[in-house]
């Protein structure tokens, strides 16, 4: 998504380039063509370009409201019982490393349920606690 956009009234006069207080606009002439350049990292979104353009060509609204940019896409870890999203696999690995233990992909509900089943299995008769019961 290009944030700085001009409509077809732009005639390349460079009023915006010359008046941008943040030096976020530039132009390059190559062969028979002039290209207007914009650098979002420099842009202060001050609106000077929009105010000063004699052609009313700067579509400033794109600098105020725009779509989301995709930044990164990572693999998710889900609960192995119910499939609920937990965290990313990379995050799980870092967590395992920091805790120095293998972190099971389980949501809190199924982690508790499996712990209860394990106690019933290993200590029969001692643990009859059900989910939601207090000790």
Partner 1 sequence: MIVGDLKPIEEIVSSISDFKKILVVGCGSCVTVCLSGGDKEARELVRELSHTGYYKNDPPDFSHSTIERQCERDFLTSYLEIPKDTEAILSLGCGAGVQTMANTFEPLPVIPALNTTFLGASEEPGVWQEQCRGCGDCVLAFTGGICPVAKCAKSIFNGPCGGSRDGRCEIYTDVPCAWSLIYHRLKKQNNLKFMTEYREPRDWRPGGGLGPRERRRTGINGSPEHSAPYPVERDALEVGT
Give 127: exposed, middle or buried? Use CB within 10 Å, 0-12, 13-18, 19+.
middle
56-95 residues near partner 1, rule: CB under 8 A? 60-61, 64
Among 52, 74, 94, 118, binds partner 1 (CB under 8 A): 52
Stretch that binds partner 1, among 4-12, 26-34, 48-56, 108-116 (CB under 8 A): 48-56
Q: Which of 38, 5, 6 is nearest to 23 (CA)?
A: 38
Among 47, 82, 85, 90, binds partner 1 (CB under 8 A): 47
In Å, how far are 11, 39, 47, 118, 121 from 130, measured between CA atoms? 74, 60, 62, 12, 14
Among 17, 26, 45, 79, binds partner 1 (CB under 8 A): 45
Q: How far apart are CA 23 and CA 36, in angstroms?
A: 13
19 binds partner 1 (CB under 8 A): yes
Q: How far apart are CA 120 and CA 122, in angstroms?
A: 6
Token couple for 39: 């650098």
Instruction: Please identify, using beta-carbon distances, which residue of 66 and 85 lies nearer to partner 1.
Output: 66
Interface size with partner 1, residues (CB under 8 A) = 9
| Smallest separation (angstroms) from partner 1 to the CB of 58 | 12
51 binds partner 1 (CB under 8 A): yes
Contacting positions for partner 1 (CB under 8 A): 19, 45, 47-48, 51-52, 60-61, 64
């Amino acid at each position: 998504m290009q944030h700085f956009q001009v409509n077809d009234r732009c005639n390349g006069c460079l009023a915006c380039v010359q008046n941008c207080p943040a030096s976020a606009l530039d132009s390059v002439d190559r062969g028979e063509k002039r290209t207007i350049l914009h650098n979002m990292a420099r842009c202060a979104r001050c609106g000077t370009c929009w105010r000063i353009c004699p052609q009313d060509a700067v579509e400033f609204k794109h600098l105020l409201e725009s779509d989301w940019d995709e930044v990164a896409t990572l693999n998710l870890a889900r609960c192995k019982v119910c499939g609920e999203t937990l965290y990313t696999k990379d995050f799980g690995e870092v967590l395992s490393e920091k805790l120095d233990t293998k972190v099971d992909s389980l949501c809190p509900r199924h982690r508790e349920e499996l712990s209860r089943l394990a106690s019933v299995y290993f200590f029969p008769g001692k643990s009859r606690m059900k989910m939601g019961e207090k000790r």
